[in-house]
Structure 1
Amino acid sequence: MSTQIPTRPGRARGAAATAPSAPPRRIGFRQTLGRWDVKISPYLYISPFFIVFAITGLFPLLYTGFVSVHEWDLLGGQGDFVGLENFTTVLDQAFFWKALRNTISIFLLSSVPQVLMALMLAALLHANLRARTFWRMGVLLPYVVAPVAVTLVFSKMFADDSGMINAILGQVGMDPIAWHSDPFWSHVAIASMVNFRWTGYNTLIFLAAMQAIPQDLYEAAVIDGASRIRQFFSVTIPMVRPTIIFVVITSTIGGLQIYDEPRMFDNFGQGGNDRQWLTVTLYLYELGWRNTNLGRAAAVAWLLFLVIVIFAIGNYLITRRIAAEPTLRTTRGAKRVAGRSAR
């Protein structure tokens, strides 16, 4: 008969406490590779864009800045370091300020109506129309046409003596317009070319944003008694605010860099006899390739870059501030109406 010796609880606990712990589990190579894949793969997916941008965008921008602080001839190449002399020389030129005024004028006459027309066309295409695919493709067709072809056709339409526009004005008893000699009307003609080509493109961008709006907001607005116009201004516009900001910024960048339309508006490509539609890009082309002064042309390019940055930041801040409050009010109102209808 065996005798069982009782074990003290305290001693057992002490023995368990002093028992050696299990060795740490080793992480396999596949698990390590999987962790690194989760961390690094997103950066690898977006890296091609930044690599291409660094080669085709950032490097030319920095190299242009290097050229702008040197005497640089198109044929002779790099000269002496001159610092900011090219910038001060350009800023003292009356042609630069005239080109800047013309560029801003054409930009305002093209970008503002373009965004407004694109919003209205997108709202119409978003409605229940027959053959919606046909109409959506139709608004994009002008964007497919080459800019040079559009400019050649419009330049003939806006001809001073034998243009179609002046012929139509004469038929209704109005005096012909000097599209090429008058500064304002030449800007209107060039802006109409830009609007014809880019309005459809921006329309499809707005249309894609409108299709992503939840239908619950429209249903809540209908329950609240809002009309179609009220829904457009109180639901649609605030909900597409990020898209509006994007379109405004891209239109600003493209509008201030306009070149094809004023270059092909006449047969000489110099911005008119009195430089009445000379733009900054045309002035840059004249300095660099006609006067062979790449240093001053690079200075003009950097000044234009700074102007674009200032306008883009200003448009972003203004657009964001205007649309922020309506978005908040619309969201709160829609939630209240949805809550009442659920009860």
Structure 2
Amino acid sequence: MTLLTTPTPGRRAPRRLGFSQRLGRWDVKLSPYLYISPFFVLFAVTGLFPLAYTAYVSVHDWSLLGGQGDFVGLQNFSDVLAQPTFWKSLGNTVSIFVLSSIPQVLIAITIAALLDQNLRAATFWRMGVLIPYVVAPVAVSMIFGRLFADQYGLINSLLGTIGLDPVAWHGDRLASHLAIATMVNYRWTGYNALIFLAAMQAVPRELYEAAVIDGAGRVRQFFSVTVPQIRATIIFVVITSTIGGLQIFDEVRMFDVYGLGGPDQNWMTTVVFLYDLAWGDQHSLGRASAVAWLLFLLIILIGLINFAITRRISTNTTKTTKTKKKNGGRA
């Protein structure tokens, strides 16, 4: 028996949506994902795929000339960790990073504090500090390689005019690290100074006015107002400088004619060691991929530390703000 349903009087029957209305709903729901999809597609092609493929190569006996070989598991990693040259290159990388990043951050934040003042032609000075960053790394390395030449370098000539002995920039390990760190500082100090300057300009001017009323000078304002307000930016610059320090290649490659960190590997960095494994006498892409993954894991570790520190700082800032509100604005 078939039951016929009749529409209830006073009630309108549900109307079917047309195709244009459905298309409009799909547009509202899907368009945000379509707008951001190019980044993720590009990141998958240029980032995730090379990373996954490098992991695949690192567990195979893969040579430059013979191609893919047998599956060896973690043998490439153990072979790399057993090589003294790897640990020496890692020590060189850390040494160059310390000699470059610490002075770089201190000089950059000082330059940013000076640029944050009321200067004439402020735009000119702010753009001027970025000029070294525009110069090609190869050109910078070639110029500084001549400046730090052992026999005819300008630096040794200047040292001779004041009665000091010439420095073996390519013979002494610490001296070579200092020379390469100088190249890195020349290129990146102005770039980091502009990052600090952008953070300083976001600091509320009322805080400086209150500090002036309390009798604080320029130096006290810098340490009591500026530095706490840009603390997250300082952490960001330190972490990015650390990651960049782990990837130093151009300056080391162009520091001498051979580009392999000197005869005793006194300034060979980990990336140069990776390059030598892949394109040098060993022709081992498997071991080179293992080195790349060890660097990647080290960068991930630094990123996690950065996340933990940033979260800790933001949590403490929130708690301090809530405490001030409860106390009626008093610290």
TM-score, normalized by length of structure 2?
A: 0.88
- Contact 2:262–2:268 (Cα < 8 Å) also in 1: yes
Instruction: Give yes or no for the alignment of 1:292 onto 2:273.
Output: no
Q: 1:119 aligns with which of 109, 117, 121?
A: 109
Instruction: Give yes or no for the alignment of 1:155 onto 2:124.
Output: no
Quote the offset at 1:20 in angstroms: 4.5
AA at the equivalent of 1:311: I
- Contact 1:96–1:280 (Cα < 8 Å) also in 2: yes
2:272 matched residue in structure 1: 282
Q: 1:217 aligns with which of 193, 203, 207?
A: 207
The equivalences for 1:91-130 within 5 A come to 91-130=81-120
Matches of 2:246 and 2:237 in 1, distance apart?
Answer: 14
- Contact 2:93–2:246 (Cα < 8 Å) also in 1: yes
Quote the offset at 1:197 in angstroms: 0.3
Quote the offset at 1:51 in angstroms: 1.2
1:252 matched residue in structure 2: 242
Matches of 1:155 and 1:331 in 2, distance apart?
Answer: 55
Matches of 1:223 and 1:120 in 2, distance apart?
Answer: 24
2:294 matched residue in structure 1: 303
Matches of 1:189 and 1:334 in 2, distance apart?
Answer: 51
What are the superposed Cα offsets for residues 39-93 of structure 1, whole Å, 9 maximum, x if unpaired? Answer: 4333322221221111111110110000000011111110110100111111111
Please identify, of 44-53 and 129-138, the stretch whose mean Cα deviation from structure 2 is larger.
Answer: 44-53
Matches of 1:162 and 1:35 in 2, distance apart?
Answer: 73
Larger radius of gyration between Structure 1 and Structure 2: 1
- Contact 2:232–2:310 (Cα < 8 Å) also in 1: no
AA at the equivalent of 1:99: S
Please identify, of 218-227 and 60-69, the stretch whose mean Cα deviation from structure 2 is larger.
Answer: 218-227
1:84 matched residue in structure 2: 74
Matches of 1:126 and 1:172 in 2, distance apart?
Answer: 37
AA at the equivalent of 1:200: G
Name stretches of at least 5 consecutive residues in structure 1 with no aligned partner: 1-17
Matches of 1:230 and 1:266 in 2, distance apart?
Answer: 45
Identity across the alignment (%): 66
Matches of 2:76 and 2:123 in 1, distance apart?
Answer: 52
AA at the equivalent of 2:90: L
Matches of 1:327 and 1:143 in 2, distance apart?
Answer: 36
- Evaluate the alpha carbon distance shift between residue 329 and residue 161 of structure 1 in structure 2; reply closer, same or farther with a 3 A threshold: farther
Please identify, of 51-60 and 20-29, the stretch whose mean Cα deviation from structure 2 is larger.
Answer: 20-29
2:164 matched residue in structure 1: 174
- Evaluate the alpha carbon distance shift between residue 122 and residue 330 of structure 1 in structure 2; reply closer, same or farther with a 3 A threshold: farther
Matches of 1:282 and 1:197 in 2, distance apart?
Answer: 19
Matches of 2:216 and 2:18 in 1, distance apart?
Answer: 62
Quote the offset at 1:200 in angstroms: 0.8
AA at the equivalent of 1:247: V
- Contact 1:106–1:191 (Cα < 8 Å) also in 2: yes
- Contact 1:123–1:207 (Cα < 8 Å) also in 2: yes
TM-score, normalized by length of structure 1?
A: 0.85
Matches of 2:175 and 2:250 in 1, distance apart?
Answer: 18
Quote the offset at 1:331 in angstroms: 9.8
Instruction: Give yes or no for the alignment of 1:146 onto 2:124.
Output: no
- Evaluate the alpha carbon distance shift between residue 108 and residue 41 of structure 1 in structure 2; reply closer, same or farther with a 3 A threshold: farther
Matches of 1:159 and 1:19 in 2, distance apart?
Answer: 98
- Evaluate the alpha carbon distance shift between residue 207 and residue 161 of structure 1 in structure 2; reply closer, same or farther with a 3 A threshold: same
- Evaluate the alpha carbon distance shift between residue 245 and residue 42 of structure 1 in structure 2; reply closer, same or farther with a 3 A threshold: farther
What are the superposed Cα offsets for residues 279-334 of structure 1, whole Å, 9 maximum, x if unpaired? Answer: 11111111101121111111111111112222333345446656875787699779
Q: 2:47 aligns with which of 53, 57, 75?
A: 57
Name stretches of at least 5 consecutive residues in structure 2 with no aligned partner: 1-7
- Evaluate the alpha carbon distance shift between residue 131 and residue 313 of structure 1 in structure 2; reply closer, same or farther with a 3 A threshold: same
1:4 matched residue in structure 2: none
In the alignment of these two chains, the number of paired residues is 322
AA at the equivalent of 1:302: W
2:4 matched residue in structure 1: none
What are the superposed Cα offsets for residues 253-282 of structure 1, whole Å, 9 maximum, x if unpaired? Answer: 211011000111011111011100011111
- Evaluate the alpha carbon distance shift between residue 171 and residue 325 of structure 1 in structure 2; reply closer, same or farther with a 3 A threshold: farther
Quote the offset at 1:226 in angstroms: 2.5
The equivalences for 1:310-321 within 5 A come to 310-318=301-309, 321=312
Quote the offset at 1:205 in angstroms: 1.4
AA at the equivalent of 2:203: I
Please identify, of 177-186 and 258-267, the stretch whose mean Cα deviation from structure 2 is larger.
Answer: 177-186
Q: 1:206 aligns with which of 171, 175, 196?
A: 196
Matches of 1:196 and 1:334 in 2, distance apart?
Answer: 45
- Contact 1:239–1:327 (Cα < 8 Å) also in 2: no
Q: CA RMSD in A?
A: 2.7
Quote the offset at 1:27 in angstroms: 6.1
- Evaluate the alpha carbon distance shift between residue 41 and residue 232 of structure 1 in structure 2; reply closer, same or farther with a 3 A threshold: farther
